[in-house]
Amino acid sequence: MEFRHEWKHNINMSDMISIRPRLRAVMQPDEHAENGKYEIRSLYFDSLSDKALREKLDGVNIREKFRIRYYNGDTSYILLEKKYKRGSFGSKTNALMTEEEAQKITDGHFDWMQGHKEPLIRELYDKMTMQGLRPKTIVDYTREPYTYPPGNVRITIDYHIHTGLFHTDFLNPDCPTIPIKGDPVILEIKWDAWLPDIIRRLVQLENRSSTAFSKYAACRMYD
């Protein structure tokens, strides 16, 4: 499992307007983005006792969470992802999932996952049966992604974050969502062994420091 450095900054729209031209002048847009951005819909899993949420709020150093997601409304490409955090380092593994498989999960049917060819799907099945993991809430947002090859740097700006509250109808484009409190903008920087000085200077914002913001936790604050 390979870990990368991760920084997050909770900024505002004014900060975003200020930093965006700097990023565009130095970095490259993600090749998969449409007009420089894409729309993301994720469905997060948690235990009956909300283990992932409580560990995040309590600042547990080592933790994990599962989610499924697709981009720009395209349900032909759905990813199951496991995010693993160890302090300020993060790692992620993923596996492709069909629309039919994702629908089965949201419908509460998951016996098909046992013995699946994808190890990550089998792992989620084990967590669902032994820890009671279940779909908890939908998280929608807009992302602007930028890349910088030296240091394998990736910077994203996430905004228009919406919560599905208790809804888990992940594949329904008309599933109701509402903006989360405060309408935050999240600037995230990820890199491998070293962060080039030019990128470090790019993301310097006055009166902004690294934060432990979680879109999943923010979208559960309505519970």
pLDDT tens-digit map of 14-29: 999 999 999 999 999 9
Q: Is the pLDDT of residue 208 over 70?
A: no
The CA distance from 128 to 135, in Å, is 10
pLDDT at residue 210, as a whole number: 67
Type of residue numbered 215: K
State the fold for domain 29-145+156-185+213-219: mRNA Triphosphatase Cet1; Chain A (3.20.100)
pLDDT, averaged across the chain: 93
For the chain, what percent of residues have pLDDT higher than 70?
96
The pLDDT of residue 164 is 94
pTM of the model: 0.93
Q: Which long-range contacts (CB under 8 A, 24 or more apart) does 194-203 make?
A: 194/151, 195/5, 195/151, 195/153, 196/148, 196/150, 196/151, 196/153, 198/26, 199/26, 199/27, 199/148, 199/151, 199/153, 199/155, 202/19, 202/22, 202/23, 202/26, 202/27, 203/7, 203/9, 203/19, 203/155
Distance CA 121, CA 85 (A): 19
Confidence of residue 205 (pLDDT cuts 50, 70, 90): confident
pLDDT grade, residue 221 (50/70/90)? confident
Residues 203, 191: Cα–Cα separation, whole Å: 13
Q: What is the DSSP letter of 192?
A: S
What is the longest distance spanned by two Cα atoms in the chain?
Answer: 52
Q: What pLDDT is stored for residue 207 in this prediction?
A: 66
